[in-house]
Amino acid sequence: MNRRPRIGLTLDHDDERRRYELKRGYVDAVLAAGGLPILLPHDPGAAGAYLALLDGLVVTGGAFDVPPELYGEARRPVCGPVKPERTAFEKDLLEAALAAEMPVLGVCGGMQLLNVVRGGTLYQDLAADAGIRGHEQPPPKDVPHHAVEVATGTVLAALVGPGTLPVNSTHHQAVREAGPGVLVTARAPDGAVEALELPDLRFALGVQWHPEAVLVHVPRHAALYRGLVDAARDFRG
């Protein structure tokens, strides 16, 4: 029996309730793609041990922001709440995974962090910094809210197809400047960056939407998790 690729999923945390949290859609998407989900509690000292265990990594999203200090800016009032412990862990883990050329998928805030660790910057708030509104859809959060245009000739296009793709939208921050060597692979009609990838690696993608949620309505999004698991299957080989 072939071993399922082990896919790490970063967790959110609720300090008041003293518990880790993860939306089930991430786990379901990895399982449906043929992977084995491995949940990753925050322990920077365990990053190396986690990587030795994993074949792929998903940096998940959450209702918090990447600290502006990580991309060389002072925090302003328009910036939302931060979770320094979680971000420090995810940053260390993500940098090590990229250095090892491990397949990586960044989702929403995970995409933003992927850009930051590669030297890019973010809008602390799309409305305040770029005059762009309408990217925080009301519930339900899993239905398509707007379309993005996927660039041809990219890994993203090979997975979901080039051209128009309906996505959900639950963010107030976004990529401002892509880091050196980071390729923008999809934009919203208003110009907001919606996806990126690292062409120097076989599989290192980030998407601003939540494919594990919207795939219920647009099955094409499941290809992102299948692509990650397929790349993870070959990682150790």
Whose structure tokens read 């707007």? 146
In this predicted structure, what is the pLDDT of residue 15?
85
pTM reported for the whole predicted model: 0.97
CB atoms within 10 A of CB 104: 27
16 is catalytic: no
* Contacts of residue 181, Cβ cutoff 8 Å, sequence gap at least 6: 118, 198, 199, 200
Pair 229, 30: CB distance under 8 Å:
yes
The pair of three-digit structure tokens given for residue 77, joined into one six-digit string: 């009032």
**Alpha-carbon separation of residue 24 from 71, 129, 165, 229 (angstroms):** 31, 33, 23, 17
Burial 159-180 (b: 16+ CB within 10 A, else e): bbebeebbbbbbbbbbbbebbe
pLDDT given at position 103: 98
108 is catalytic: yes
Q: What pLDDT was estimated at residue 44?
A: 84
CATH node for 6-235? 3.40.50.880
- Per the residue annotation, which of 13, 108, 135, 145 is the catalytic one? 108
List 90, 194, 197, 212, catalytic entry: 212
Per the structure block, which two tokens stand in for 108?
């929403």
User: CB 124: neighbour CB atoms within 10 A?
Assistant: 23
The answer to whether residue 212 is catalytic is yes
At position 108, the amino acid (one-letter code) is C
Instruction: List, run by run, the mean pLDDT of 10-residue segments along the chain (237 residues).
Output: 90 92 98 98 92 97 96 97 96 97 98 98 98 96 98 98 97 98 98 98 98 98 98 90
Rounded Cα distance, 36 and 58, in Å: 12
Q: How far apart are CA 144 and CA 74, in angstroms?
A: 34
- H runs (alpha helix) in the chain: 24-32, 47-53, 84-99, 109-117, 126-130, 155-160, 211-214, 222-235
Q: What pLDDT does 112 receive? A: 98
DSSP structure class, residue 211? H
pLDDT of residue 18: 92
Single out the residue of 213, 202, 234 nearest to residue 98, CA to CA. Answer: 202
pLDDT at 1: 53
Question: How high is the pLDDT of residue 137?
Answer: 97
Q: What is the pLDDT of residue 2?
A: 78
